[in-house]
Structure 1
Amino acid sequence: MTPPTAPDPRDRTSSDPIARVQRELLTLGRRGTARVRREDEVLSVVDRSLLTYIQDNPGCRAVDIAAHFQLNRSTVSRQLAALLEHGYVAADDDAPGGSRGIALRLTPAGGRAFDQSTRTVLDSVARRLEGWSETDLEAFARMLERYNAAPDE
């Protein structure tokens, strides 16, 4: 099956499904950022993404995070520096050493901030999905997982 081709940006129409997906993803990201500011969250969307990765991958290193999110290592290092400074992340002394950087883990303070932020975000998402059937929720989750699993070339 041939993958769909992106439309010429000058020819975007409201009916083009790729352009519609792109617009909806932009809206999703912007709303997430606005919600964090509005609710005076301790963690930004970026912080949450890093803490989620570290929680799901104990002992990971900045290079692993950079590869996962397809970011420059210096960008990730700057973002991690703030989390280290706030005491949300620390070196994982139990992880095997290596030449690829410091192994990371969430601290108890990081875990508490992450749990609180997660509850807030999940409550917000649940409100937006009220009235959706279980079938629709499962299909939506599978489609998002599929989208995020596709490699960028």
Structure 2
Amino acid sequence: MPYATRSDIEQIYGARHVETLLPLDVDADVAIARAIAAAEAMINPYLRKRYLVPLPVIPGIVQQCAIDIACWQLAPAADRMSEEIEKRAKLRLDFLKDVAAGKADIEELEGYPANGDGSGSIQSASGAAFFVEDRRYPPGGGLL
């Protein structure tokens, strides 16, 4: 499940904002999908320090990080990059650094800790190893 979608970006910043980030000869859907994938690739190493990745749920703050970093990815040219876009991306990356360092928490993910190496495995003091696999049922019950 992606951390954000084109629709998520447009709901916050508007369709016109997305259009201003892209050159006319670029396929917007492809560019946005790649920018969101790049944002996730930047986000996951920070989250992996504290939480099981892939995420079982997408908290709003993670979605907002993905949106702002994706917009920053979409506007690499100086004529398209605004100070505000850069500022938002830096703010989100600083937050992610704080999460990785244990200075900030993402409450919705506190039930999904990962081993610090991001492997999803935990070893007890007695030497028994436990491996976390994808859940078949979401937290709180119900079907997927």
Larger CA Rg, structure 1 vs 2: 1
- The structure in which a higher percent of residues are helix is 1
TM-score, with length taken from structure 2: 0.28
Higher relative contact order (CA 8 A, sep 6+): 2
TM-score, with length taken from structure 1: 0.26
